[in-house]
Structure 1
Amino acid sequence: MTEMSSAQEQTATTTNPAPANVEVDTSYENDSAYGDELSWYSTSLTSSALEYRHENGRRYHKYRDGAYLLPNDETENERLDMLHELSLMVMHRKLYLAPIKNPQRVIDLATGTGLWAIDFADQHPQAEVIGCDLSPIQPTLIPPNLKFVVDDIESNWAYENNPFDFIHARNLAVSIRDFGKLIRECYRSVKPGGWVEFQDYDGYPISEDGSLEGTALKKYYDEVYSAFEEAGCEIRPGPKLEQWFRDAGFVNIHVEKFVIPYGVWPKDRHLKEIGAWNQAQAEAAGFEGFAMAALTRYKQWTKEEVYLLASQARADGRKRDIHMLVNFYVVYGQRPENQPE
């Protein structure tokens, strides 16, 4: 085994060009123009995988029923497509940050509607790309070097004998029970010298000026995340990814943190656009969809109670004096060279 230098093993941590404290745009005298501004910014399957669970007006996956608590209907799929665009905005149009070179075999974990995998396959026509998910909700018109499969990434993998050059995962917060195990599976299934990259949230929102305290928005996240925690889901993976990567054996670990506001209150133009897009995806039935199964299945809330909570949170989100944001982490690491596969 080649000995890694201390410089190679050291973690690099950077932050996006956003200011340390996000400035508030005070150019508005009232909220009358808020809506206008927001609008401006704004294949191998089994039969069980094609079945669905219908509940409280939403559709959910039936394959490994209950493993994932968000819907998979058209409303949610449109929101996931908006999240893809949000991630590209946050990362300055980059699909990934890992220094991969000429990848030949790549997998996108929990691919959702598959847009990341489609974009990657288009950019790397030499690569065989796989997108896996619990739900077969991906399009059929795709690049020839891409295929989608139905799979549960929290079950035992079977990729060790045919490993990948690059493994990618994004937005798995509240979807995974054991990130440590998942990242260990990634280590076993990536080639020596290959890279793994996770992009994920510290899901719990904050406000730098305390404006989130006592709001319906804070109540919403307190209640919903409490239900996800009862279900055993990890809600704050972002800041923990580095340690999970290190524990799994990765080297050359790099951490980058981005700020994602909610709404158009930031003064910085780029953050304002991100905040508007973030709010738009949440208002596309995101508040209800994110909360419905978790609260009704684990907290015995009624559908009407969830709608009320979501409505109150949405209303608070439109107030320009509430300055909510979350932190988004991109972490990648390399399996050491000259290691047995």
Structure 2
Amino acid sequence: MTKEIAKYTFNGLDKFTSMTNKYNVIMSLINTPQSLSYITTSFKNEMYLDGSREAANFTINNADLVLDIVKSYKGTSYWQQHANAFQNINKIQIGLNFVSAGADIWQAYDLFKESSRTEDQSKKMDFIVNASFVSARAGSSIATAIFLPLTAKAGPIGAAIGFTIMFSQGTFNAVRTSQELRKLGFKEEDITLKSILKFFGQYQENEDSSYVTKIESNKLNNEIIPNILNEKNKEYINALANGKGEENKLFYFKKIVYPKVDLYIPYSIETTTIGCSYGTCVPSRSGGKPLENASHSCLTNNSYYASDSNRINEIESYHMNAIQLNHSLLALKKTDSPQAPKGENYSQASIFNIIIKRYLVLIFL
């Protein structure tokens, strides 16, 4: 009877298990850069809890894989003679899988909680999908722990499912990154490269100055400026509706003109040296090099060295002269406020039906 149970227990430590373990090793290597990047980024951003949780999960998954390989390498005949050692390894793997499942459930809970906090529907969907992937991974670990005492195939199969889920999650995040970059107007070659790097965990949007610049530019164009217009025009309309003449102190804004937000990459100062030999002197010029670490978003095309006081005074003088010269272009164009229909007064309901001709164009220099 014992031999029959042993035969059933060790069944599967053959070609199938060997092939599955090879697949798991390959998938582990593919997913490792992504995991290590997440751990490093978490600690770098002082997200110690997330970093520790991911580091523990990474260690547990790879320890479980190593034990699967050891069991497969020794073979069925060896473990039939060392049944106790085999059972002890199973117990360790059961514990590892339950701990891994607990960490995944914890992470899934945090992701679902984050999805409920954000109002951005795109980010909400990303949180929910990633939480679903992590939940599925937890389910796979629990199933592996339950079936391990019954068959040796459970370990490699469970690991294969877990690594496949991780691979699918990385693919999803890479695709979502490509969609976001395409929406922001990045070139296709940049989208392809950044998406591949995202899959391997080597691309973080918040560390990409060009990505941050485009986000800030869109926010300025689509949120900040329209909100300023709406707020100022609301004040003007309210004053006009009150009928106390307060609107004369306010303006109706038709539009705001401002420079485009762009990415500014400063360069080091160009240097010129003169070398002399045999009575001949030849100048040698060394061009400035881009200072990638100092790149930032900028709302102006003007740049100068803050330590150069003469240059600062020159720019200020030029600026004031330009204002004097073009003052007439910036002059306020006044028109009378439209009159309410005879026998009627302005109200919040009717004011929006009247074409307001008074406006001010602001130019930010």
Q: Which has the higher contact order (CA 8 A, sep 6+)?
A: 1
Instruction: Specify which structure has the higher proportion of strand.
Output: 1
Q: Which has the larger radius of gyration?
A: 2
Q: Same fold (TM over 0.5)?
A: no
Q: Name whichever structure is richer in helix by fraction.
A: 2
TM-score scaled to structure 2, two decimals?
A: 0.23
TM-score using structure 1 length: 0.24
